[in-house]
Amino acid sequence: MSLDAPWIGWLEIDLGNGLGVSVATVDVNVRRDMVIFYIGNRNIAVIDRQQLRRWLIHPTIDLLQDDVVFLTLAGELCLSVDASVPYVVPKDAARELLQLV
């Protein structure tokens, strides 16, 4: 593997309700060309890795992909699953996601 090959692997992100209470855990499978999001054994989104990276760097409009909406609220990265209320991605997890995709 080349030193400049993209990172691949798994991340775990605990989503919060904005009050610091964890409401769901999302498992993220970062592959060479795509990123797959799961809750339990359910695949909730498959997104092109470069598209997600571009959006994370410059989130302008909400990004709808499969059963997930990626959005920002008050500068916080959030996910809405199945049209639910948006859940906050903790800042450290959002930073890690950006660094690894």
Residue pLDDT, tens place only, 21-71: 788 899 999 999 999 999 999 999 999 999 999 999 999 899 999 999 999
Q: Is the pTM of this model over 0.85?
A: yes
C-alpha distance from residue 48 to each of 4, 20, 22, 63 (Å): 19, 30, 27, 12
Query: Looking at the predicted structure, is the pLDDT value of residue 20 above 50?
Result: yes
Sign of CA dihedral 8, 44, 41, 25: positive
Q: Picking from 4-8, 11-15, 17-21, 47-51, which range would have the lowest pLDDT averaged per residue?
A: 17-21
Q: Where residue 3 falls among pLDDT bands split at 50, 70, 90?
A: low
Predicted local distance difference test score (pLDDT) of residue 65: 95
